[in-house]
Structure 1
């Protein structure tokens, strides 16, 4: 049986990295789950998730040769989930990945079974978190907050509202992952 691709999605600043790190720690001893490391065209010291930094040229070469099971561009960066994750899924392991709302239809059409966990938070919290991480200009922050409101995830299989302590969000995410 093919393991599920569990895409955790939500707007910038919603706390996906924090919740995913906590869920990864909580599920560390469970061989039924693996947490994907994405390739990103972002420097390694830019903050946020642990990722494999790649140049745009390298990313384009990998994508062009079918090296990603799913890839997309957002906010001036390119993101990819390596095709090697498919071998794990074929062995029955569920792959948990920080995904993109823009790829959900494609993922569901080509990578079944796919489960989507949408992380949400109030706009005021998104703005505060984006300001605190210090990676975006005020105009970029406002664009990300506007994009969050304009693009809700209606097709989610589960939702986690991350508006309280991180431990509550982590507990809810772990439950959603296990239910997938």
Structure 2
């Protein structure tokens, strides 16, 4: 329940100029090893929570001091509908909407069930964003591009209490 409550406390993502406040789960990337396959560089790193992570990118990650993988889809994890979610054709069709009863939202879920759903969603693979901090004392981050989607999964044996420390709001440029 502590993890669920921590997620509920997070603010929604927002923009101010070129900065984005991003509510997310963060995972620190450990020391990197690199291998080459043709013209492509593949970086591998061991993380405590995600296991071994592989990242394909043209950028030389070995020159970056602090790398972080983030899971930014908090609304998905909490089972909330995102603001930009598309509306189905049935909901926008004037004829069908006048003939049918208005759709009602699903019944509210109790906190315990919602927390169990959160844990189940956390255990699924997800596409992570790769960020680097703009300096040791600066708490701003920038996105690092990768050649392919960085798909990771929280390891089954990761204690949920450990994930509470990973829940943050970051400033991303």
TM-score (norm 1): 0.24
Larger Rg: 2
